[in-house]
Structure 1
Amino acid sequence: MRHLLLNWITIMTLGTTAQAAPLSATDNEILEILTTRIDEQKQSVGIVVGIIDAAGQRVVAHGRLEKDDPRPLDGNTVFEIGSVTKVFTALALADMAERGGVQLDTPVSQLLPESVVLRQAADGKPITLEHLAMHMSGLPRLPDNLMPADDNDPYADYGVAKLYAFLSSHQPTRQPGGEHAYSNLGYGLLGHVLALQSGQSYEALVRERIAIPLGMADTAITARPEWEGRRATGHDAGLEPTSDWDLGALPGAGALRSTTNDLLTFLQAAMGKKPSSLAPAFATMIATRKPLGDGSEEQALGWVISGSGERQIVWHNGGTGGYRSFVGFRPSTGVGVVVLSNTSTEVGVDDIGVHLLDRERSLAPAPVQRVAIAADPATYDAYVGTYRLAPGFDLTVFRDGNRLFAQATGQGPIEIFAEAEHRFFARSVDAQMTFEVPAGARAASLTLHQNGQDSPAARVGD
């Protein structure tokens, strides 16, 4: 799985167990998973799980509201939900299309001010709303003029003027509708133009069309007075409190806050268990899909669909600087799952969510404890440079005195430590890098090792 909001490339591989398991876990089984993840693996401060099954819905929680706050979490605890927001953005699009406000094939340029020139690729095809919602717009993952003033809140100063400046200057190299490439920029732009079309802010659009009709009182962007005392504090991978994120001009990519109970209500409607006026829009989301890669996954409007037949699951995950989230359901069993964590760690909540939907899927192992070796800082110069992991998504390695850092596009720097010759690891995320260094020269490339995947990246600059 690879859809965390604005984080290092994260792909989760899930193994299988030898025996089939019951369709739905008991509360004690879920609590044991959370206790292991929080108390033993130290991969979160607090996690809340919500389950929908044949018996109804229930919530299991473990951990704290904040590192030094002993108050427990529950189904009404408010979290940032990161890229799970994209499912709401896609639902707003599907609902507007159902009502005739826009169409899936409406060119994005028609909804932008005339002063914004959205350039086209060589084939001349316009980018449509569907292209944005399916991650097939050809736009990069992030805009190249995203230069955070505060790495702990990287989007706060990315306003509409910067968004329009990027769109007007960017010359696409990929044709829309061709290659699938996950784009936070694309979803941020989708939320922006839908808000323009509706004459409302993005938050007001989601509240009016989704949250209020479904009875989701705690789903919003702006802090609400009634959240006092039940709003979780986000934590970084070192389990230290960190700031929440402001998504600036791109709220449709990941700005929403919500609770487990609200998201269970959303899932009830998405699964057809709760009657709502949004039923046609939910159906459009699932019906509009394209295969990804080897065909084991499909991209729908907002949702990702994995597997086939009885083991098919519909899901999305998310992550910000201090939170992780997972929402999904399995049509064949009628089981739905919400998992929210107030900590941003690599072994987060995705595997928990998938395991609870498909008990034959195993949980992620505990992170490997790595040991740094002594290294001559003078050797770091060979690694300094910019390496391209994906279009619009680079990893920049730089030296600060006797320390070496890596910084992904749109994210803060992370210190890396030597564990072998030409191999480094990060302590704040479960990621390692191996550099390809010709004798007497600077590194020509690196390979990012993360969650069982090896992602090569050629040097593209000094």
Structure 2
Amino acid sequence: MYPRENKIMKRLALLTLVLLLPVFVFGQNVESILETRLAEEPVGSALSAVIVDENGATFYNTGTVSKEAGANAVDKHSVYEIGSITKVFTGILLAEAIKRGEVKSSDPISKYLPSSIAPLKFADKEITLVDLSTHGSALPSIPDDFKPEDPLNPYADYTVEQMYAFLGRYKLTREIGSQFEYSNLAVGLLGHILAKQAKMDYEDLVKKRILEPLGMNDTAITFTPEMKSRLAIGHDSAGKATPNWDLPTFAGAGALRSTPNDMAKFLAANLGLKKTSISDSLAKAQQLQHTYERENAPPVRIGFNWITSKPGEIDIQWHNGGTGGYRTFAGMDHSKKRGVFVATNGSASADDIGFHLLDPNAKLRAVEPPKKEVELSKETLEQYVGKYELTPAFAITITREGKQLQLQATDQPRFPLFAEKEDEFFLKVVKASVTFTRGEDGKVNGLILHQGGADTPGKKVQ
């Protein structure tokens, strides 16, 4: 990536030029990556990145805050929803609460829940606070009573009372700590417990214990008028403007909004480039807590929500985020004291860009052309309505609302399903598609879910 100078330079001016050239070329490369991605995949209207190292922070921005004519260009102060990167903040809050003596990582969660909720156990082992922070609690991704009134703001109406009711009736189905299962419920519950123990709401807790010590004055859950004026408008996978998300009960799982400038401060503090009053808690949250072995896949190594993996040739500690109209990435290469934050106001992943900027051996993904939607008759759509069982514990239910199919998987919200042609459909919220199968009689008898390189069949059972 960097040009090399093989000759011995006799002139200091020429030597200076050679030393400065790699930085200039690398900067050009970052700008090219962002501009090319936005041109090839114009789901959102903007891409921002910041690279943090011992020399400071370097910002790269391309695009505008919206697709409206005359919209302002994005810059380091533009506001993005950072989604599940919030989970890392919740992990740091856990470390800070441990330091203050408010909790212990080994505490059972029943210690902090109403007595009416029976302890959540499997084989006499109870879920602890650290289990909530390492995705080993055996709790599902979301509760089974998660049925949002507004799919475009799905967490807004889910209440603490509903969460407590779910926890009161849920039965664990496997050993705690035996399997990695990413759970918004678990980390949302952890944030709720920590806020309750500190006798304040989650937003006040994260503000007082993380944002203020790090000088992150442009990061919040509740928009200030100033933040709202600099908001990069979110866009769904069809490239249309979409509402921001509200997560009152699951705030600790994904409610924060921030800027590249503030996230640069966050990365610098986590890399130890800047000493703060919470440096020990930042380091504690990064420490390895659990390793989950997996068949035919690399193990998952996780601290207090920080994940460590090797997408190229070096270990990267990272987390990503995604809401209805945003995708974000934050990662660190501790060996080089280098951090990267990437944000886009569209629903297309930017993880590969973040990994690549930290390790050039981590490849950028190929951008596929967008699928084209076609309209099918109500009569044709009605043929696909039903329940499809992919495993005994996982099913997909297809419903119809007028000329729109909806897909709902077990313990997940409903999402619109769009026709590419008869029997071939795709989702816009995630990179996935569905092929419906038919029997000899011509009737729909199953489906195949295509996602993440896997093709999973399901039999129509209702």
Residue 163 (structure 1) shift? 1.0
- 3-state DSSP class of the match of 1:231? coil
CA contact (8 A) 2:387 2:460 kept: yes
- 2: CA distance between counterparts of 1:389 and 1:81? 32
Distance 1:132 1:230, change over 3 A: same
**TM-score for both structures, normalised by structure 2:** 0.86
- 3-state DSSP class of the match of 1:227? helix
Q: Whose Rg is larger?
A: 2
Residue 376 (structure 1) shift? 7.4
- 2: CA distance between counterparts of 1:91 and 1:372? 43
1:86-235 alignment, distance < 5 Å: 86-121=87-122, 123-235=123-235
Amino acid at match of 1:365: A
Aligned length: 439
CA contact (8 A) 2:328 2:351 kept: yes
CA contact (8 A) 1:118 1:167 kept: no
Aligned to 2:307: 304
Q: Map Cα deviations across residues 3-24 of structure 1 (whole Å, 9 max, x no partner).
A: xxxxxxxxxxxxxx9x99x899
Q: Map Cα deviations across residues 251-271 of structure 1 (whole Å, 9 max, x no partner).
A: 011001111111111111111
Task: Percent identity, please.
Answer: 39
Distance 1:75 1:379, change over 3 A: same
Aligned to 1:60: 60
- 2: CA distance between counterparts of 1:98 and 1:296? 29
Aligned to 1:13: none
Q: Map Cα deviations across residues 387-439 of structure 1 (whole Å, 9 max, x no partner).
A: 4679987542223455533244543431321447x443345654212345443
Aligned to 1:325: 328
CA contact (8 A) 1:142 1:392 kept: no
Worse-superposed segment, 28-37 or 225-234? 225-234
Aligned to 1:259: 259
Distance 1:212 1:143, change over 3 A: same
- 1: CA distance between counterparts of 2:322 and 2:312? 29
- 2: CA distance between counterparts of 1:365 and 1:380? 32
- 3-state DSSP class of the match of 1:311? coil
Residue 97 (structure 1) shift? 1.2
CA contact (8 A) 1:53 1:334 kept: yes
Worse-superposed segment, 246-255 or 223-232? 223-232
Amino acid at match of 1:338: F
CA contact (8 A) 1:141 1:393 kept: no
Worse-superposed segment, 287-296 or 100-109? 287-296
Aligned to 1:8: none
Distance 1:255 1:394, change over 3 A: farther
Superposition misfits of 4+ residues, deviation over 4 angstroms: 22-25, 371-382, 387-394, 441-445
Worse-superposed segment, 156-165 or 285-294? 285-294
Distance 1:331 1:436, change over 3 A: farther
1:334 aligns with 2:337: yes
Residue 162 (structure 1) shift? 0.9
Residue 332 (structure 1) shift? 2.1
1:315 aligns with 2:318: yes
**TM-score for both structures, normalised by structure 1:** 0.86
1:6-45 alignment, distance < 5 Å: 26-45=26-45
Aligned to 1:278: 278
CA contact (8 A) 1:234 1:322 kept: yes
CA contact (8 A) 1:387 1:460 kept: yes
CA contact (8 A) 1:37 1:43 kept: no
- 3-state DSSP class of the match of 2:357? helix
Aligned to 1:72: 73
- CA RMSD in angstroms, aligned pairs only: 2.9
Amino acid at match of 2:151: D
- 2: CA distance between counterparts of 1:148 and 1:308? 35
Worse-superposed segment, 353-362 or 379-388? 379-388
| Structure of higher RCO (CA pairs closer than 8 Å, 6+ residues apart) | 1
Aligned to 1:11: none
Distance 1:166 1:367, change over 3 A: same
CA contact (8 A) 1:297 1:307 kept: no
CA contact (8 A) 2:376 2:403 kept: no
Distance 1:403 1:57, change over 3 A: closer
CA contact (8 A) 1:24 1:356 kept: no
Worse-superposed segment, 382-391 or 44-53? 382-391
- 1: CA distance between counterparts of 2:136 and 2:307? 14
- 2: CA distance between counterparts of 1:100 and 1:135? 23
- 1: CA distance between counterparts of 2:316 and 2:391? 27
- 2: CA distance between counterparts of 1:157 and 1:230? 26
- 2: CA distance between counterparts of 1:460 and 1:179? 29
